[in-house]
DNA sequence: GAGGCATGTACACGGTTGTTTACTTACGCC
DNA sequence: GGCGTAAGTAAACAACCGTGTACATGCCTC
């Protein structure tokens, strides 16, 4: 007799590691397939855990979405650079950093679901727009924040979600410069 | 005995009317719930027809999506006005016309589905970007078309899909003026 | 006016979804 | 060192999905 069958390779039990593995997998899938087209079983499989654990740790799929949002939304790094270089810094972060556009893609692709939609708006408002407007300062802080939001939502959507020929990676240089200037103009509006 | 049961109220048979009823319902639902979150049975119910007719007339749900796209994408009316008033005209059309933003909302909300995504890009490229670039003319026609696309995708997404406080209907006047100017600047770039 | 085909209907099929339940197993504390 | 509890597992549930099929019926043509 060789030995008793090895059963399971004695997988370590670690709740924290499991939680973060699920959250990592959820971020990846939500930001590429959106809320509705991402299945709980898919997330669990990518995370390498049992699918029932998603329900255990996050209550429901919507709970997982909210937890994923809360984890990845953080614009504070962008608000600590040189104010006069905000345009070029933003372009560099979003164009050159891998998956910096993930959170926005996740929200856009999930906007078709009412629950995910509500969660997205709530977090976008409190974690992005309010700090951004405060950083911009008068005059018309909120409206300028809204314009930045328009510009970048449009750019990232056109680039990543509905990519068209003129925005292909090879031809994006000219658009980058335009975007830098337009972004900087909104920031500088207060210091005219 | 009162009479034999009245069965059905002798509903008129009209294939064309049925087709357009399905397409109207599909446009409404696709542009508010997206492709995945819209069921064939929902479309049929809103159209007042039997759900099997969707399959009969359009082959599949994806076929219905393509047919709906083909029916509502038409930017030619916007390219026949005064070139010097393009900015204000665009703003008027999209802000004041009921559901002018429907097609874009439909494409964004459906971008999470691979089949719908491919169909959207195909139509956007051939029916919008190519005619728009031709109308803009040199220099850099395609890149300027891409910038207009960024601007308007961002605006409509921020306004309708992820509506935030500074873009609420009551406070949109200032953003409208900014958008008019930014749009017109891109158009005028060739005639500097 | 009768036949034939387009139109419309009812229903079932296989598959997938999110969620829950009952159960097993490993770890840490007394 | 045994035991309780947290961690993980397997399976099943009901509901819904897109699609296909088999059947009924109304309109047009000959």
Nucleotides of D under 7 A from a protein CB: 6-11, 16-22, 25-27
Please, are residues A186 and A137 in contact by the beta-carbon 8 Å criterion?
no
pLDDT at A23: 98
Domain boundary (A45, A70, A95) is at A70
Please, are residues A110 and A26 in contact by the beta-carbon 8 Å criterion?
no
Q: What is the mean pLDDT of residues B3-14?
A: 49
Measured between alpha carbons, how far is A34 from A37 in angstroms, rounded to an integer? 6
Q: What is the mean pLDDT of residues A9-28?
A: 86
Report the percent of chain B where pLDDT is more than 70.
93
**Range from A25-29, A76-80, B63-67, B177-181 carrying the lowest mean pLDDT:** A76-80
Residue A104 vs residues A155, B100, B115: alpha-carbon distances, Å: 11, 24, 21
Position A178 pLDDT exceeds 70: yes
B65 falls within a domain: yes
CB contact under 8 A, A162 and B108: yes
pLDDT at B1: 32
Does B48 lie in the same domain as B83?
no
Place of tokens 């956007």: B124
The domain that holds B31 is classified in CATH as: 1.10.10.60
B132 falls within a domain: yes
Q: What is the mean pLDDT of residues A144-153?
A: 91
Give A192's pLDDT tier (boundaries 50, 70, 90). low
A1 falls within a domain: no
Does A129 lie in the same domain as A35?
no
Domain boundary (A54, A70, A86) is at A70
- Taking only the tens place, the pLDDT of each residue in B11-29 is 578 899 999 999 999 999 9
B4 falls within a domain: no
Position A109 pLDDT exceeds 70: yes
CB contact under 8 A, A163 and B121: yes
Partners of residue B155 in chain A, C-beta under 8 Å: 150, 154
Structural domain tally of chain B?
2
Q: Which of B33, B133, B150 sits opposite A158 (nearest CB)?
A: B150
Does A105 lie in the same domain as A63?
no
Nucleotides of C under 7 A from a protein CB: 6-11, 16-22, 25-27
Does B81 lie in the same domain as B46?
no
Greater confidence, A168 or B152? B152
A2 falls within a domain: no
What CA dihedral angle connects B18, B24, B28 and B31, to 10 degrees?
Answer: 110
Place of tokens 């034999």: B4
B7 CB and strand D closer than 7 A: yes
pLDDT at B160: 82
SS3 content of chain B, % helix, strand, coil (to 5): 75, 0, 25
Measured between alpha carbons, how far is A35 from A114 in angstroms, rounded to an integer? 10
DSSP letters for A43-65: HHHHHTS-THHHHHHHSSHHHHH
pLDDT at B192: 61
- Taking only the tens place, the pLDDT of each residue in B90-110 is 999 888 887 788 899 999 999
User: Which among B59, B49, B41, B2 is positioned nearest to B22, based on CA atoms?
Assistant: B49
Position B150 pLDDT exceeds 50: yes
Dig out the tokens for A66 from the structure. 């909210």
**Closest chain A CA to residue B165:** A125
Does B15 lie in the same domain as B98?
no
Burial class (CB in 10 A: 0-12, 13-18, 19+), A135: middle
**Closest chain B CA to residue A133:** B166
Average pLDDT value for chain A? 88
Give A89's pLDDT tier (boundaries 50, 70, 90). very high
Helix (H) and strand (E) counts for chain B? 10, 0
Give B6's pLDDT tier (boundaries 50, 70, 90). very low
Does B86 lie in the same domain as B38?
no
**Closest chain A CA to residue B152:** A154
A3 falls within a domain: no
Give A188's pLDDT tier (boundaries 50, 70, 90). very high
Position B2 pLDDT exceeds 50: no
Measured between alpha carbons, how far is B44 from B22 in angstroms, rounded to an integer? 6
Position B7 pLDDT exceeds 90: no
pLDDT at B22: 98
CB contact under 8 A, A112 and B112: yes
Dig out the tokens for A135 from the structure. 């950083």
Give nearest nucleotide to B49 (CA–C1'). Answer: C8
A131 falls within a domain: yes
Does A29 lie in the same domain as A107?
no
Does A49 lie in the same domain as A38?
yes
DSSP letters for chain A: ---S---S--PPP-HHHHHHHHHHHHHHHHHHHTTTT--HHHHHHHHTS-THHHHHHHSSHHHHHHHHHHHH---GGGGGS-GGGHHHHHHHHHHHSTTTTHHHHHHHHTTTSHHHHHHHHHHHIIIIIHHHHHHH-SSSHHHHHHHHHHHHHHHHIIIIIS--GGGSGGG-HHHHHHHHHHHHHHHHGGG-
Position B139 pLDDT exceeds 60: yes
Report the percent of chain A where pLDDT is more than 90.
65
Position A153 pLDDT exceeds 50: yes
Give A21's pLDDT tier (boundaries 50, 70, 90). very high
Give B10's pLDDT tier (boundaries 50, 70, 90). very low
Does A116 lie in the same domain as A174?
yes
Give nearest nucleotide to B61 (CA–C1'). Answer: D18
pLDDT at A77: 81
Does B29 lie in the same domain as B81?
no
Does A60 lie in the same domain as A108?
no
Report the percent of chain B where pLDDT is more than 90.
64
**Range from A36-45, A113-122, B4-13 carrying the lowest mean pLDDT:** B4-13
Position B185 pLDDT exceeds 80: yes
pLDDT at A92: 92
Give A11's pLDDT tier (boundaries 50, 70, 90). low
Contacts of B156 (CB under 8 A, 6+ apart): B94, B101, B104, B105
Cβ–Cβ contacts within 10 Å for residue B169, how many? 9
**What range does the domain containing B44 cover?**
9-70
Give nearest nucleotide to A57 (CA–C1'). Answer: D7
Dig out the tokens for B167 from the structure. 């873009």
Please, are residues B30 and B106 in contact by the beta-carbon 8 Å criterion?
yes
Greater confidence, A117 or B166? A117
Measured between alpha carbons, how far is B128 from B146 in angstroms, rounded to an integer? 11
Domain boundary (B28, B53, B70) is at B70
Measured between alpha carbons, how far is A79 from A175 in angstroms, rounded to an integer? 23
pLDDT at B16: 92
pTM for the whole thing? 0.89
Does B59 lie in the same domain as B20?
yes
B102 falls within a domain: yes
pLDDT at B3: 34
Rounded to 5°, the CA angle A133-B157-B71 comes to 165
Backbone φ and ψ for B72, nearest 5 degrees, come out as -110, -10
């Amino acid at each position: 007799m060789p030995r008793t069958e090895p059963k399971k390779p004695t997988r370590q039990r670690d709740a924290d590691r499991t939680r973060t593995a699920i959250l990592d997998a959820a971020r990846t899938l939500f930001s590429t397939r959106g809320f509705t087209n991402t299945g709980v079983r898919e997330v669990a499989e990518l995370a390498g855990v049992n699918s029932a654990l998603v329900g255990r740790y996050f209550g429901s799929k919507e709970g997982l979405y909210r937890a994923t949002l809360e984890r990845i939304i953080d614009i504070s790094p962008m608000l600590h650079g040189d104010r006069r270089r905000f345009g070029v810094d933003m372009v560099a972060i979003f164009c050159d950093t891998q998956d910096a556009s993930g959170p926005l893609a996740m929200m856009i692709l999930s906007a078709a679901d009412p629950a995910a939609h509500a969660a997205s708006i709530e977090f976008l408002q409190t974690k992005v727009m309010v700090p951004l407007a405060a950083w911009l300062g008068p005059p018309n802080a909120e409206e300028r924040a809204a314009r930045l939001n328009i510009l970048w939502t449009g750019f990232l959507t056109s680039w990543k979600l509905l990519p068209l020929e003129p925005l292909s990676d090879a031809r994006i240089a000219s658009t980058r410069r335009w975007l830098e200037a337009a972004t900087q103009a909104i920031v500088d509006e207060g210091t005219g």
